Structure 1
Amino acid sequence: MLGLAPLRSAPLPIRASATACGRNTSQLANGCQLSLLAPEAAEGDTALPENMHKWRMVIAYDGTKFKGWQYQPSIPTIQYFLEDALICITKLDRKKLCLVGAGRTDTGVHAWGQVAHFTTPFSYSCLSSIHSAMNGLLPPEIRVREISAARPEFHARSSTKSKVYRYKIYNEAIMDPFHNHYAYHSAYKLNPHAMQEAANYFVGIHDFTSFANAAHNDGERRPTKKITRFDVTEMGAVLQLEVEGTGFLYRQVRNMVALLLQVGKEALPPDIVPAIIAARDRKELAKVALSAPPHGLYLMSVNYDEEILKPPEGSPPISFGRTHHLRFSWFRTVNRGLSWPASFC
């Protein structure tokens, strides 16, 4: 057992202090001190050394309180808290952990199936303890759903085959307060059939320059992406838009949704989509639609080829978390005809 007591604070309090070497550190509520290093220029893109082991995580989070995925010192991001927990458990610094996420979700965006990998110079015989410790240290809005050993060639981002994003729209006159942080509210009655017709134009291989916002860390963007499906589904008051593609540019999904909202309001015809795609100019989209807000967006899954997901030989079993059971079962007592314990009488 790792012997880490669970923290029950949301978010985890951060206290900054200076170290003798001039770096900043943060301190979790349980006393673990964590180094705040400047983010690396590249995230784990080098070959894995022979003595290192790689681990894959599937992560879910409510993005409402966080400033996106990307690590930033002393700023509450998803990567920041995951690294803090891993540093506390493994006693490694973030340069050795090399935590990399499959998708850099934006501020306020949620995830059910974010994937990340990290490395350690040692192996584990059982993953359930580190899994339990991770979720004990993380804020309740972030949960590691599973941990498994990964092949040396696996990379959470570059090995990706496709990603699935979902956008939720609450389409009634009065917003349901329980959907307030998790769906965009449209008081305009939307036409889902027109939206589906427009969404079909996105399917295929296109240059999506018109649907990409500029980002300071984009580097050399490759605007040509393949969309394999774009489904518009009515679920009572909720309109669900789900898109799968080989990759997406910065804010591409939210910009595509914004245009579909205009089509759904019947302010624009469905065939506006191929015209804006062909323009390859972000300003053309800006003339007719603003980007949809982040709180309706979810990263649902990141998909890989089955071969790359096969664990190395001799790896510990995948951990899906521990299920707890009562030591005494009243079902077994009744079935065996035993008497009730005094505490039940």
Structure 2
Amino acid sequence: MLGLAVLRFALPPPRASASFCTGAAAVTAAAAGDISLVDGSLRAVLRPEVDEADTVAAESAHRWRMVISYDGTKYKGWQYQPSPPTIQFFLEKALIHITKLDRKELCLVGAGRTDAGVHARGQVAHFTTPFAYHCLDSFHSAINGLLPPDIRVREISEASPEFHARTSSKSKIYHYKIYNGAVMDPFHNNYAYHSAHKLNPHAMQEAAKHFVGVHDFTSFANAVHNDRVRSPIKKISRFDVTEMDAIIQLEVEGTGFLYRQVRNMAALLIQVGKEGLPPGIVPKIIAAKDRKELAKVAFLAPPHGLYLMSVNYDKEILKPPEGSPPISFGRNHQISRCKLLFY
């Protein structure tokens, strides 16, 4: 018989501000927080092992870095909101359940606010706890066990107090995928934009090189309905167009991007690829510094072809503090020996 899987990690000591049950029920509830995994295949019991080595004073916060992948098809983007649900909502829900902290204490921050329908291979986020973990593998397994199957934490590590997922980033890499065939492959339907019109990747590459450098990208930014004022001056270090059978992949790396900038750049390159516009249109649209000029020649590319592939940092800022637990890349499971009955 296969035994019940037990995940063990340290939980924080009770805080005066928290509300608790009374009597024996309180002790039982605090000692064993049952968690039902999303797929229903296993019920894991997380039992705290609290000692002086596992906990620290609340004022000495520990910061944790996560690398996250997700299929954005069903979600309203990254930014927190309960309905329709977002990636951040589900991550915070899992972290709150495991750590028993509220979202203000966790302070979960993502490196990029991907839009509804946009995917990620290497989104980065950080959160804080007033206590430490001596092992991250069980914690890692617990998070993924609580998340929907189309959201996965790939890596967890302790980070220095100076690390910030968004402001510490050196550059971001995005991909935009275009399926360039007469008939759309149904297996790419949610993961690539379909262009039945045969595109010219060489013309697209010629146009893409005009994006490289430091420019005012006002013409490629949609209006943002919030109080954040961002500089339209951005640096793009490279923009590559690669043909891979029926897929044309756009890969752009830059220090930062404006709201929907990558999708707007992809939309213009698609029009150039159709040979309806010359590659030299790019510097003219950039110089106009007016979103209306781009709207005259190209529509916004749909979100499902876009991927946040990676967020890059200086090696120094990624060094974990001294005495940190080993980085968790997930845990391999092994089948224990058992007796099989033969009939």
TM bucket normalised to smaller: 0.7 to 0.9
Task: Choose from 292, 301, 309 the match for 1:300.
Answer: 309
Instruction: Write the letter of the residue equivalent to 2:162.
Output: E
CA distance in structure 2 between the partners assigned to 1:82 and 1:144 by the alignment: 9
Q: Counterpart in 2 of 1:87?
A: 96
Q: Which portions of structure 1, spanning 4 or more consecutive aligned residues, are displaced by more than 4 angstroms? A: 341-345
Unaligned runs of 5+ in 2: 1-7, 10-33, 45-57
Mapped pair 1:74 → 2:108: no
Q: Counterpart in 1 of 2:333?
A: 324
How many Å apart are 1:5 and its aligned residue? 3.6
CA distance in structure 2 between the partners assigned to 1:126 and 1:60 by the alignment: 22
Partner of 2:88, secondary structure, is: helix
How many Å apart are 1:325 and its aligned residue? 2.0
Q: Counterpart in 2 of 1:227?
A: 236
Partner of 2:239, secondary structure, is: strand
Partner of 2:327, secondary structure, is: coil
**What is the CA deviation profile of residues 298-344 of structure 1, one whole-angstrom value per residue up to 9, with x for unaligned ones?**
00000000000000000000000011123359xxxxxxxxxxx8768
CA distance in structure 2 between the partners assigned to 1:91 and 1:131 by the alignment: 16
**What is the CA deviation profile of residues 177-225 of structure 1, one whole-angstrom value per residue up to 9, with x for unaligned ones?**
0000000000000000000000000000000000000111361110000
Instruction: Write the letter of the residue equivalent to 1:174.
Output: V
CA distance in structure 1 between the partners assigned to 2:226 and 2:138 by the alignment: 36
**What is the CA deviation profile of residues 89-140 of structure 1, one whole-angstrom value per residue up to 9, with x for unaligned ones?**
0010000000000000000000000000000010000011110010000000
Q: Counterpart in 1 of 2:279?
A: 270
Mapped pair 1:173 → 2:204: no
Number of residue pairs matched?
297
Task: Choose from 36, 39, 43 the match for 1:8.
Answer: 39
Partner of 1:196, secondary structure, is: helix
Instruction: Write the letter of the residue equivalent to 2:103.
Output: R
TM-score (norm 2): 0.84
Partner of 1:4, secondary structure, is: strand
Instruction: Write the letter of the residue equivalent to 1:180.
Output: N
CA distance in structure 1 between the partners assigned to 2:195 and 2:78 by the alignment: 27
CA distance in structure 1 between the partners assigned to 2:179 and 2:38 by the alignment: 34
Residues 40-189 of structure 1: pairs in structure 2 closer than 5 A: 50-189=59-198
Partner of 1:106, secondary structure, is: coil
Partner of 1:173, secondary structure, is: coil
Q: Counterpart in 2 of 1:261?
A: 270
CA distance in structure 2 between the partners assigned to 1:143 and 1:125 by the alignment: 22
CA distance in structure 2 between the partners assigned to 1:286 and 1:175 by the alignment: 26
How many Å apart are 1:73 and its aligned residue? 3.2
Partner of 1:201, secondary structure, is: helix
Contact 2:174 2:307 in 1 (8 A): yes
Residues 170-209 of structure 1: pairs in structure 2 closer than 5 A: 170-209=179-218
Instruction: Write the letter of the residue equivalent to 2:38.
Output: L
Counterparts in 2 of 1:247 and 1:326: CA distance versus 1, 3 Å:
same
Partner of 1:80, secondary structure, is: helix
Instruction: Write the letter of the residue equivalent to 1:111.
Output: A
TM-score (norm 1): 0.83
Partner of 2:252, secondary structure, is: strand
How many Å apart are 1:74 and its aligned residue? 3.3
Counterparts in 2 of 1:171 and 1:51: CA distance versus 1, 3 Å:
same
Partner of 2:97, secondary structure, is: helix
Identical positions, percent: 76
Unaligned runs of 5+ in 1: 10-28, 31-48, 330-340
Counterparts in 2 of 1:344 and 1:154: CA distance versus 1, 3 Å:
farther
CA distance in structure 1 between the partners assigned to 2:62 and 2:340 by the alignment: 51
Partner of 1:135, secondary structure, is: helix
